[in-house]
Amino acid sequence: MRILLVGEFSRLHNSLKEGLTALGHEVHIVGTGDDFKKYPVDFPISSTLVASNSLLSFCNRITRKLFRLDLEAYERAYRFRKLLPILKGYDVVQLINSNAIETYPKLALRLYEKLFAQNSKKFLLICGDETPIVDVLLKNNLKYSVLTPYFNNPTANKKYYNYTLNYTNNQQRKLFDFVQTNCDGLLVSDLDYKIPMEQTGFDFTFIPNPINTDKLEFIPMEIPSKIVIFHGVNKYSAVKKGSSVFLEALSKIELKYGDKVEIRIVNSLPYDEYQKYIRSAHIILDQIYAFDQGYNALEAMAIGKVVFTGAETEFQEYYQLTDSVAINALPDVESIVQQLSFLIENPEELTLIGKRARQFIEKEHHFVKIAEIYTESWNTTNP
């Protein structure tokens, strides 16, 4: 099959492409590369002109402030439009988000009309903020979610949720409705989207994230003399992912254990550089407010790291796990301190959990196995 993957936010589409390519399919990715993360794409649409030109960047700051117009969003739409003549004849087109082009909803809708008309089957993958997901999370009827900090302090935290809350505005809702109506199927990537989607009434298929275990070599963890704890802060999602809870817990751990630990904190690194920090650490503090693991957590688990992330009861039950493959990170500083303390005082647990984490990824997230599930889902869906 010829497959076009539109958008890239977490390296999900890159790993899926690698699995599909291993199965003999022709696959291309069109997208921005997700800002500072710089994921590889075949057809780039990132705003290189506005972003690299000091005068245009200055003008863009003015237009955003005075008129709420983003020149970079227009440039992304323009670049995608220029690519349309070659983005045709695909058996499958999959969007990673209803606004995978990362432009204004009205522009995205027009571009999708042309893209959909010149290709066969279309699918929407829900693996992050999306209109029906945000609708459900705003009901605040789950144990917790990425919106929990917003509910706890809406006045102070609303500014961190503008991107998420935009999915409920009229234009974005119209875009989602258009995509959902014109796509042949909806897919979700983990339990943090499966669980809220079950409240929406939409039909969807759950396919776990693909992880390229061939590229991510397992590093057996030896009991270290000093335990390295790593937390990467994302400038766009630090509040949503509970970084403040992790940072407060790390301050207490540093005071409590001193020379027994080395704490490394970085901010918004490109993917390749971020991976170097992951490989050199023993414990990764990934995110809070989650039921399941996000993409960074899964890749760290594949290497054999002990990851603090979503690993709730729902996750344990779905995969029928009896032993921990990750540490369930609760939104409670003392809980994080207690769990870290246990691992520091019982370092042999790091080796055991890391080994189980790798085995879990190979069993449930192997990129070729997941690619086979995708192709089966695409093939059994009638256009």
Instruction: Please provide the average confidence, as pLDDT, over all residues in the chain.
Output: 94
Host domain of residue 310: 227-364
Considering the domain architecture, whether residues 266 and 165 belong to the same structural domain is answered as: no
- Entry pTM: 0.94
For residue 219, tell me if it sits in a domain: no
| Residue listed under structure tokens 């027994």 | 260
Q: What is the CATH number of the domain that holds 78?
A: 3.40.50.2000
Instruction: Express as a percent the part of the chain with pLDDT over 70.
Output: 95
119: Cβ–Cβ under 8 A, 6 or more apart, which residues? Answer: 4, 87, 88, 89, 90, 91, 92, 93
- Say yes or no: 76 and 182 in one domain: yes
222 within a domain of the structure (yes/no) = no
Interhelix angle for 54-67 vs 71-83, to 10°? 110
Q: Does one domain contain both 322 and 262?
A: yes
Same domain, 284 and 352: yes
Tens of pLDDT, residues 96-141? 999 999 999 999 999 999 999 999 999 999 999 999 999 999 999 9
Q: Are the C-beta atoms of 103 and 363 separated by less than 8 Å?
A: no
pLDDT at position 36 is: 66
- The count of domains in the chain is 2
Residue range 308-364, pLDDT digits in tens: 999 999 999 999 999 999 999 999 999 999 999 999 999 999 999 999 999 999 999
Q: Are residues 334 and 255 in the same domain?
A: yes
Helix, strand, or coil here: 31? strand
3 DSSP β-pair partners:
27, 92
The β-bridge partners of 309 are: 328
